[in-house]
Each structure stands twice: as C-alpha cells, then as structure tokens.
Chains A and B, each alone.
Chain A
Amino acid sequence: MKVLNLASTKNHISKYEDDKNNPTVWEIGCLDEMAAAIIDDMSTEYEIDKNAPETARAKTTFNYNKKNFDILRLGLKGFQNLIHPETGKEVKFETVATARFGKSRNVVSDSILMVIPRKVRDELAEEIKKLSGLSEEQEKN
C-alpha cells in the first residue's frame, strides 16, 4: 500500500551532488490533495485593470520559485548528511507549525530551505511533483 500511504517516503540523491562518496540523502514524500490544490492556486496570479477591463492591460504573475518553496515545505520529509556551506556542520532537520495550507501542519523551516542550493531545490520540487501525480503511463494502465 506504499503508493497510497501519505506517510510513505522515498530517498533521493541529487544529480548536482558534489560528494559522491558521502552524499546528502533527501527524504521526500507526496502532497495531499488539499495542499496540491492550494499550491496550484497560489502559483499563478492574474489581474485585470479595473479601469479598463475590456483591454489587454492584464498582469499575469507566475510564482514559479514561490511554488517550489511551498512544494518543498510540504514534501521534504527529512535528510541525512546535509552540511551547512558556511559552518561546515551537519544541519538538523526542523519543522515549524503553520496554517497556510488549508489546515494546521508541520512544514520544513525557512532557515533550512535557504541552506539548500537553488538548483537542488528545483530538482527536489520536481521529484516531489512526480511522486504526487500520475505519469501518462500510469494513467493508461
């Protein structure tokens, strides 16, 4: 029942990992339906000019990076061997309570997200999205 268990996780090693002998192992999980829906809603904003609604003067904002941060907040469940780039010490996994995603949850703290390099954050967010959705092949089956 692993595919259905919200608590089940998968270990992932980044393709950008420098230390192949002692890599950081990221523990990721899938998103629940409520969180996925809220993140999707927050990722794109569309605003029309209220003084000229018929015109094309609309503003669209794609919050790609913000979306990836949110996906990581919810989908990153732990890690091993993450070394702080400034202190050289191992980072301890921490969560904080929040009510941002539809209900009270424990999510990864911002201080930890800021330690993760951007390209690794983007990669992890993609992996979490893959875990949370069905591939075309899975849909067909």
Chain B
Amino acid sequence: MALGELNLPCEHCHENPGLQVENGCLKDSPVPDRWQIGKYKFQRCPGKLVTAESYEYIKAYNWMQRGFLPNPGGWMEQPAKFVRAMTIIDSELMKREKEEIEKIKRGAK
C-alpha cells in the first residue's frame, strides 16, 4: 500500500483491536512489510509516525526525485525550510541504506 492517499482507517482500527494490532497502531505490526511508501516499508502505522507537515515534505521529496520542485525556479529559489527538510530526508535515507547494506554484508559472512 502506498501512503500517498493518507486515507488511513483510524476509526475502524479504534473499533477493532485486532485491526489495531495488524495495522501497527500501538506497536509494530506482526504482518511483514505491512505498510509501504514508495520503496520504503514500515511495520508501524504511518499515521502514528508522520505529521501532516512531514507528509508534505516526504511527498515533495518524492517529486523532487522525479525532477519537480514545489515553486518556480531552481534550488535556490525554494523556501529555506524546504531545502533543509530535503537535506534531512536525504541524509536519513542514505543512513538507512547504509545500515541495510551493512546488514546484508553481515548476513553474507
């Protein structure tokens, strides 16, 4: 499932404890790869992890990867806040990729 629509059924989860467990509402879901945003997978419900503002930044990051910026002009014409957010997201993703590679290398030994 892609987070893009952010149509998380919170009301249904609150009425159904089984769904809360499955969707990772209170802690990690036991279902492998329960949630997916692009190529990234999560065990916890994204609604619990991501604020609406952060969601906008993540969406913008995905569009930036495709070559589109939110405002006319180049990099320097974007809000300073946006540039900072993209730097943070990029840095975090690179960190996680590095961790994944290390994990694979350790598993291969």
Contact = CB atoms under 8 A, between A and B. Distances in A.
Interface of A: 1-7, 30-37, 102, 131-134, 138-139, 141
A139 B71 CA distance: 21
Contacts of A4: 56-57, 60, 70-71, 79, 82
Interface of B: 50-51, 53-54, 56-57, 60, 70-71, 75-85, 88
Select the residue from B50, B51, B80 with max chain A CB neighbours within 10 A.
B80
A31 B70 contact: no
A131 B82 CA distance: 11
Contacts of B78: 6, 32-33
A34 B77 contact: yes
Contacts, number: 71
Contacts of A36: 80
Given A3-B57, A4-B60, A141-B54, A132 B79 contact: yes
A134 B60 CA distance: 15
Contacts of A2: 56
Nearest to A4: B70
Contact of A34 (B54, B56, B76): B76
A32 B56 contact: no
Contacts of B82: 3-4, 33
B70 A1 contact: yes
